[in-house]
């Protein structure tokens, strides 16, 4: 199952994230190429395919799965479809790259992981923070002992709301900003600390600015306590003006680091007339702004997909897997439970089986 | 009781904070002057007095309270002495300025407030963040509607450990970094949001770096939920290298602000040989550093004591009172309880009567 | 001539800078008080006086000079009046505080200095950069050896144009941005380097954005070479959007410093609706902005005028004098000559006698 | 002459810059591959080749030029060899990539350009600032009109001294920091402003810190005036502590930008024990530091060499050519002349023919 030449890739979806996948694979084209895209909405797949000069497009992804040359399929569809897609792709004998969050329920997570294992395909989890160059550099410094013992890792992502309207509907998304972006920070802290066992989760959530559009949380704090005593602190918002903001802080017994992806990375620009594009979700290009550059690269998307293609060829082992997605999923369930119950959730005795989606626990927490 | 001329001030204490009081009053000398200092350790009061050219010094503060010209006494003694001192000063008919935190127990807080009220003297609470120029500016912008509805205020203070050895001993301090510095952020968020009623407190604490020296917490997160739905987030650390760090973040429905007192305020200096002084608790003057300037002024100490002197003259009304100190004290009890019990503490049903000191609730939380 | 009590001050002028003088003296009120203001435009002096509760106002400053209790007079009138005012004030036996630049010609500079010396009054030069807290801190670090031997000092001030319309008219102002703001940086570099002898001046000037309004330069570079080999680099602009910008850089054999008065000092704010005031010359309060706080203090105006009042009382010696103003004036003449002639001006053989105003040398440089 | 498959590349040199070329080509391996390296010092070429798994190595580059499959040769040898190498490579029918500065004399520049033209090969000039992602982004904003009319571009590069000892010897280098790094900024300003005709050059140079090691300048200011009235300001130093510093500023009639490659791009780290690597020329990894990440990418080296390979395939046209190198070379001659003569050099009447190397004009300027 480790072929030769470029890995041929199919993409499921045609929106924001699908675009990123195709562009990223083309940017690091040595190891992979997108040969097909699939999207149910008539015309969407074709439009995407034509924009990037991709030869094949499908409205039914199952048709795409019958193409024998495709070795790896990436999933950028809504969260609630991730599980079914993964199972179908694995059963077609193709490797899976699944966007975050992994799925809706813990049962789905287990099914996805088990199916891929049984079918002998890789389940790769598209957590780009494991590849974000600035954050990877901080991890290297930690690994070199530059901070002594790391006891606290913080990650925060904030902007003014999601890419697509379906995120506002918790039935489709499974939760608010904690579900949408908290999965990043949760997986990141876990990975940065070398994946210690999670002991407890404490969370505070609220809907402060977008209550007219959603029942989901638009601002969240999550505190993760791990077995070795380390702490992860994840803070996310859909209620923060002024463009994207993504940052980490690392604290150790002998040092610390701050890293800021947007305001600390960009040009500092003042423009009266404005200009083409600042950064995802920035409100305006007039006045002072922090325009992003080499956006995909600075997030780590091309590096991520390049890595996944090399995993398919057996040259590397996946840095982010279904287990990472499952970890984040469990922590998200626990965080909604904590916010709903006003209690620190001890993970060992926490069982969210049969809960349809994480945010349900905020509205109706399990009784202990 | 509103005399004329400069307010004559006595200072109790001779350490770090006493020094700040005397220097600050001299810096804004139009309204007040320090005429006496008192400290029990032989020689300390005299040394401080001579350093600042203060005429009188005492080893027994009760003697100082008998000086008829003194109108206002500031307390910079250890936390456990705040209550007795306040009662004695009030009974001597003098106005009180009490350093933070206000005291050890809720009973003490009530006694201090009641005694001052009964004796007709002011109980002023030395929360300098209400006077920190940069933060005051953020509050003005909030009051002008620049952020829309403010739904989240964050304050964080971090360095590598307290000024004096007695802080490590929780018997004397009543708690760790949450007790020492959390009181700042708690009072600040409350004040910034125009003192809404507190609904609940959620906290996470740990001892990560200084476990060899203290049983107290050296890193803390506190989440305050207010009745109007606003949130305060207070983060403090005694386990952060690299000098002092004091910052706020303000988030509203239509805007936001970041303000950083040290790294964003100072010069950015690189020095091979090093130089005299960077900032409180900075480890070194070699390499890159962020030297502070006009340190007292940028914290707001002279402005604070100037304001208090004018309150004594009836020209202004105290911006920070015993009630602010009491508020912070209650929230600190609640935060230790929350961290100890792993539960969000609903303030309405929380009663820390008879608990000798806040940190006791971390070790032995009250059962609900 | 060193009286007692507060120094009584008269202010000549009623515009932007007069306002700063009155406000600054009131802010540090222990040593001085403004008792009178004078301005020829009917109503202006009265309006300023009423705004700050000043008892006396005059339309003829000579009348004000006849008031016997006034000991010090500050000049905030247009540049071309500085000399006559200084001579009249000195002849009335009062100390002089003169705003920058000192005057129009070298003959005027000499007359001002000589007259004040003969009449036994102080000629104090209002260069506030000698008092700007952040820059003073950098000087202290330099004096402590933190940078080794300092070989280069840079100062830059930039915004989008002057406070009053008369600045655009070079007949009244004597020059463009180099005359208006270059005098700051020139005096600053000289002072920072402990006033070494000036060897040469090289300058480049242009009118890039405001050619419709002025014949004066709106952007300037000035390179000062001193006898010890040190260099000063002064960069000014009236053609820079986005609010005020004032910064220094210091380079030495063993270290360096960057200091930024506005972008590095302020809050970092994003606001949709906007708010009251950002900073002098900022274009808007919407979007991202860097609002200033404690504006006068952070520039050093109150400290400066406080110092001058103490000089009048003989408690301190003037940190900035007519000689500093004369130095800057000579360098400004040399800089216009350099830009006009396309040559480095060797100061020893440079004689701008009888040149009516500095900018004339840009249009018609002296032949060597 | 536009073949197929990956462009086969030979590299001349084995030091710092050769390493960057090989690593960069491997990082963007789709279009090119390094197949040979040549260096006269025994063992050096082999060591480099083995480090990067390159199959062939030579001590005589002329042997390498006889390899028929090599299509493009990159030059990383000392400046004084650039001309001879270029001529030999062109005569061997291979495309040339020449590191900056282009050469020593104007005669050499013309010979290199002419020879390549005659032999029908590309002369590509390795000015990576044309590819530096953050700076390219600023150029895009300028091209979109975001700054209005750009009237001033500044570029500055500073650190504490060159990579190899031969730079200190002006006989080998042709000049000091102006020759070494000024060529970057000169070409950059020219390119950013869309290559207007150069009218005049004004420069100030000095040797402030490294006078014990070199007769060359270790700090330089260069002011370029272009025909349209725009200005370039280039500032370089070998006398600046604290690590690398590379920044640009862009000023236009309607906006401006600041971009900082190192301090504004990196993590902000404090480490007591220190760690592996900060950035080129940083003095230490302890204390506060600004570690670089994805270093080659953020400078633009892989993008640059990728672009050059595509030029060889006829897919793109060279963004940086011998003419750019010649432009910088002429400006460097003019800048040394200006600093030496204390005069603005009018380029139209400036002829540095027969001057052996640029820095000669600082020591002995041409008389007008």
Contact: B283, D286; criterion CB under 8 Å: no
A141 CB neighbours in chain D (<8 A) are: 267, 269, 271, 275-276, 291
Distance CA D106, CA A189 (A): 57
> Which of A198, A240, A243 would best serve as a mutation to test chain B binding (most B beta carbons within 10 A)?
A240
Of A133, A267, A273, the CB nearest to D137: A267
Distance CA A190, CA A222 (A): 13
Of A259, A266, A275, the CB nearest to D267: A259
Long-range own/partner contacts, residues A296-300 (CB < 8 A, 24 or more apart): A296/A20, A296/A23, A296/A24, A296/A27, A297/A27, A297/A133, A297/D133, A297/D294, A297/D297, A298/A132, A298/A133, A298/A134, A298/A261, A298/A265, A299/A128, A299/A132, A299/A261, A300/A128, A300/A129, A300/A130, A300/A131, A300/A132, A300/A133, A300/A136
Asked whether the predicted pLDDT for residue B185 surpasses 90, the reply is: yes
Greatest alpha-carbon pair distance for chain D in Å reads 59
Residues A25, A34: contact at Cβ < 8 Å? yes
pLDDT tens profile C225-249: 999 999 999 999 999 888 788 999 9
Distance CA D300, CA D306 (A): 10
Q: Per-residue pLDDT averaged across D266-289, rounded?
A: 63
Sequence-ordered list of residues with C-beta below 8 angstroms from that of A133, at least 6 positions apart, any chain = A297, A298, A300, A303, D293, D294, D297
By mean pLDDT, which of A342-346, D86-90, D232-236, D279-283 is the weakest? D279-283
Tell me the pLDDT band of B1, cut-offs 50, 70 and 90: very low
Which residues in chain C land under pLDDT 70?
Answer: 1-2, 264-286, 290, 292, 368
Residue D322 — left, alpha, or beta (φ > 0 → left; ψ -120 to 50 → alpha)?
alpha
Q: What is the pLDDT of residue D276?
A: 64
pLDDT tens profile C191-215: 999 999 999 999 999 999 999 999 9
Omega before D166 cis (within 30°)? no
Three-class secondary structure of residue C311 per DSSP: helix
Tell me the pLDDT band of B198, cut-offs 50, 70 and 90: very high
pLDDT tens profile B117-130: 999 999 999 999 99
Sequence-ordered list of residues with C-beta below 8 angstroms from that of A367, at least 6 positions apart, any chain = none
Question: What percentage of chain D reaches a pLDDT higher than 90?
Answer: 60
Residues C74, C82: contact at Cβ < 8 Å? no
A275 touches chain C (CB under 8 A): no
| Count of CB atoms situated within 10 Å of the CB of D50 | 10
Greatest alpha-carbon pair distance for chain B in Å reads 59
A219 CB neighbours in chain B (<8 A) are: 151-152, 231, 251
pLDDT tens profile C326-368: 998 899 999 999 999 999 999 999 999 999 989 999 999 998 5
Q: Per-residue pLDDT averaged across D82-86, rounded?
A: 96
Buried b (16+ CB within 10 A) or exposed e, A240-253: bbbbbbbbbbbbbb
Greatest alpha-carbon pair distance for chain A in Å reads 59
* H/E segment holding residue C322: helix C322-341
Tokens at A101, concatenated:
């969050």
Tokens at C126, concatenated:
């209002």
Q: Per-residue pLDDT averaged across B257-281, rounded?
A: 69
Distance CA C280, CA A316 (A): 57
* H/E segment holding residue D95: strand D95-98
Contact: D273, A133; criterion CB under 8 Å: no
pLDDT tens profile D101-153: 999 999 999 999 999 999 999 999 999 999 988 888 889 888 988 888 999 99
Q: For residues D229 and A276, which has the higher predicted lDDT (pLDDT)?
A: D229
Half-sphere exposure of A223 (CA within 13 A, CB side): 29
D254 touches chain B (CB under 8 A): no
Complex ipTM over 0.90: no
pLDDT tens profile B21-51: 999 998 877 789 999 999 998 899 999 999 9
Tokens at D57, concatenated:
């190595």
Greatest alpha-carbon pair distance for chain C in Å reads 59
D168 touches chain A (CB under 8 A): no
Contact: D239, C206; criterion CB under 8 Å: no
Omega before A101 cis (within 30°)? yes
Asked whether the predicted pLDDT for residue D295 surpasses 90, the reply is: no
pTM above 0.95, yes or no: no
> Which of D133, D272, D278, D298 would best serve as a mutation to test chain A binding (most A beta carbons within 10 A)?
D272
Beta bridge partners of D269: A257, D289
> Which of D239, D288, D290 would best serve as a mutation to test chain B binding (most B beta carbons within 10 A)?
D288
Tokens at C37, concatenated:
């203001």
C287 CB neighbours in chain A (<8 A) are: 242, 283-284, 286-289
Distance CA B37, CA B9 (A): 9
Tokens at A284, concatenated:
């305006």
Name the residue with tokens 């592996």.
Answer: D276
Q: Per-residue pLDDT averaged across A18-39, rounded?
A: 89
Distance CA A158, CA C330 (A): 54
- Nearest Cα to Cα of residue A258 among D69, D267, C252, D212: D267
Contact: B288, D283; criterion CB under 8 Å: no
Buried b (16+ CB within 10 A) or exposed e, A5-31: ebbbbbbbbbbebbbbbbbbbbbbbeb
pLDDT tens profile A82-119: 999 999 999 999 999 999 999 999 999 999 999 999 99
DSSP state of B367: P
φ/ψ (deg, to 5) at B160 = -110, 15
Distance CA D238, CA D242 (A): 11
Q: What is the pLDDT of residue B157?
A: 95
A241 touches chain B (CB under 8 A): yes
Contact: C289, A286; criterion CB under 8 Å: no
Asked whether the predicted pLDDT for residue D332 surpasses 60, the reply is: yes
């Amino acid at each position: 199952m480790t072929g030769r030449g470029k890995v041929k890739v199919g993409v499921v979806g045609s929106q924001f994230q699908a675009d990123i996948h195709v562009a990223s694979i083309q940017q690091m084209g040595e190891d992979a190429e997108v040969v097909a895209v699939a999207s149910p909405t008539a015309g969407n797949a074709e439009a995407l395919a034509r924009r990037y000069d991709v030869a094949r497009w499908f409205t039914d992804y199952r048709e795409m799965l019958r193409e024998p040359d495709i070795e790896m399929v990436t999933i950028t569809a809504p969260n609630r479809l991730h599980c079914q897609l993964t199972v179908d792709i694995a059963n077609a004998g193709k490797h899976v790259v699944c966007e975050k969050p992994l799925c809706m329920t813990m049962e789905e997570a287990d099914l996805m992981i088990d199916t891929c294992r049984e079918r002998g395909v890789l389940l790769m989890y598209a957590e780009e923070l494991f590849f974000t160059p600035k954050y990877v550099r901080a991890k290297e410094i930690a690994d070199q002992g530059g901070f002594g013992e790391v006891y606290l890792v913080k990650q925060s992502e904030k902007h003014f709301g999601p890419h697509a309207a379906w995120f506002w509907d918790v039935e489709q998304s499974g939760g608010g900003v904690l579900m949408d972006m908290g999965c990043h920070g949760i997986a990141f802290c876990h990975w940065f600390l070398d994946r210690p066992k999670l002991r407890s989760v404490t969370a505070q959530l609220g809907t402060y600015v977008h209550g007219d559009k959603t029942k989901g949380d638009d601002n969240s704090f999550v505190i993760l306590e791990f077995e070795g005593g380390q702490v992860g602190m994840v803070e996310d918002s859909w209620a923060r003006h002024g463009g994207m903001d993504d940052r980490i802080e690392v604290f150790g017994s002998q040092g610390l680091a701050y890293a800021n992806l947007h305001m600390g990375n960009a040009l500092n620009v003042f423009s009266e007339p404005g200009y083409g594009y600042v950064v995802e979700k920035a409100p305006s290009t007039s006045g002072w702004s922090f325009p992003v550059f080499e956006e995909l690269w600075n997030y780590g998307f091309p590096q991520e997909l390049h890595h996944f293609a090399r995993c398919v060829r057996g040259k590397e082992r996946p840095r982010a897997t279904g287990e990472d997605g499952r970890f984040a999923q469990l922590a998200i369930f626990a965080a909604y439970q904590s916010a709903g119950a006003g209690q620190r959730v001890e993970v060992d005795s926490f069982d969210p089986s049969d809960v349809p989606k994480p945010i349900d626990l905020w509205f109706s927490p399990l009784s202990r």
